[in-house]
Structure 1
Amino acid sequence: MSKREILPQQRRENPDPEERRTPIPWLVLALAAVLAAFGVDYISHSDVNTPPAWGDGRSLAELVGDKPAAAGARIDGGAIFTSMCAACHQATGQGLPGVFPPLAGSEWVVGKPDTAIAILLHGINGAIEVKGKVYQGAMPAFGATLGDGEIAAVLTHIRSQWGNAAAAISAETVAATRARLAQRSEPYAGGEELAKLP
């Protein structure tokens, strides 16, 4: 058997790369160990009772979770809006055309406080006209999810953003509206039914 001929093109090629065993430099290992030890030490010395003003501004009662906010505790309506409303109505308050109505300049938002409260308490399932355009999306009810103070805070936030300039809503107003509408168990059938609210 004759020896295989090596072509000139093959002679120009570099040899195939090979995997070599290269240990991690000891300096990198030492740095990783120091960082891990620092992380463990930092977490073990952190104080869960750190004043919330040092963080995002929520009160200790809000950070606890399931328990209602303590009397006089500040509730961040903007944070509630971001977590529960912005996905549909958008962070800009402009909504989504044809589906989710805008909150910016909405006559329902800056109108009667009781109507806005009723919308959050029981939701809407039907056509609603906002700024001359009809929207067919469904608005979920938040009456069972949010307390009176939280509904007041998020509505106050919405009524003061994106050019809206309506008065703040108090937790007492929400509580009174909730009591007045306590018999209702289903969403409002669009704007026509909402317009009939006293």
Structure 2
Amino acid sequence: MADSPDPRQAEAGEARQAAAARAREYDDPHENRMPIPRYVLAMVAALVAWGAYYIVTAPIDQPPALGDQRTVADLHGTPRAAGASVDGAALFQSHCVACHQASGQGLPGVFPPLAGSEWVTGSDARAAKIVLRGVTGKLTVKGTAYNGAMPAFAAQLGDAEIAAVLSHVRSQWGNTAPAVTPETVAAARAETAAMQAPFDGDAALGAPGG
């Protein structure tokens, strides 16, 4: 009769197999303690100390030694000398061309034309008032009614600038009206100073060309 396996040997074999399996496995991940290097802490402390010293000692009433050294006066630019010419064409390009177009024809049904417009070639004082205070509501131009809005430029442009842009449009696209003077614009500004809202189109401005 053959000998039966020794249970203790079988258990020992299983234990050896389990130990070998565990040996083949990697250790469970764990987090090691890694303190910040001392030289990094020293650099941070030095930067903080330098920043504090700079803030305390830097003059606040002088331009900085580095970076943008422009003053407020530099940003405002050089004041225009009295009597210096103003480029009306450039002002038209920056303030008017989006609506009235470079051709002066405007956009049909939306923005009225300046070419041949009775409002442009008529009274210079009234043209100045329109630019200064703006217009809303129905406005008839060359027999066509427009119902839109033109912004006021009194706060954006000075008298000489409004005179220049008006003189420009009154001499372009076949228009032959006389130039507008800054004095005319100044008088129109004073006359309409109390206005709180734009002109109400034809109802407020009367007949075009008058």
Q: How far apart are residue 68 of structure 1 and its match?
A: 5.1
Call closer, same or farther: CA 1:85–1:124 in 2, change over 3 Å: same
Deviations 1:9-42 (A, max 9, x none): xxxxxxxxxxxxxxxxxxxxxxxxxxxxxxxxxx
TM-score normalized by structure 2? 0.61
TM-score (norm 1): 0.65
CA contact (8 A) 1:94 1:103 kept: yes
Aligned equivalent of 2:133: 122
Q: 1:157 aligns with which of 133, 158, 168?
A: 168
The one-letter amino acid of 1:88's match is C
The total of aligned residue pairs comes to 136
Aligned counterpart for 2:196 among listed residues 158, 170, 185: 185
Pair 1:167-2:178 in alignment: yes
3-state SS, counterpart of residue 136 of structure 1: strand
2-structure distance, mates of 1:181, 1:67: 30
Aligned to 2:98: 87
Shift of the alpha carbon at 1:192?
2.1
The answer to whether the 8 A contact 1:127-1:190 is kept is yes
CA RMSD of aligned residues (A): 2.1
Q: Deviations over 1:63-90 (max 9, x none)?
A: 9756652211110000000010000000
Residue 82 of structure 2 corresponds to residue 108 of structure 1: no
What residue in structure 2 maps to residue 74 of structure 1? 85
Q: Which runs of 5+ in 1 are unaligned?
A: 1-62
Q: Deviations over 1:111-155 (max 9, x none)?
A: 001110011000011110000101112100000000000000000
Matched-pair identity in %: 58
| Structural mapping, 1:10-159, within 5 Å | 69-159=80-170
Residue 166 of structure 2 aligns with an amino acid whose one-letter code is: L
Residue 187 of structure 2: aligned partner? 176
Q: What amino acid is the match of 1:114?
A: A
Partner AA of 1:73 in structure 2: A
Runs (5+) with no aligned partner, structure 2 = 1-73
Moved runs in structure 1, 4+ residues, more than 4 A? 63-68
Alignment partners' CA distance in 1, 2:182 and 2:205: 21
In structure 2, C-alpha distance between the alignment counterparts of 1:127 and 1:65, rounded to whole Å: 39
CA distance in 2: counterparts of 1:188 and 1:68, whole angstroms: 32
Query: In the alignment, is the contact (CA less than 8 A) between 1:97 and 1:135 conserved in 2?
Result: no
Q: Which 10-residue stretch deviates more, 147-156 or 63-72?
A: 63-72
Cα 1:188–1:93, aligned 2, differ >3 Å: closer, same or farther?
same
Q: Distance in 1 between matches of 2:77 and 2:150?
A: 24
- Structure whose CA Rg is larger: 2
Letter of the 1:156 partner, please give it: S
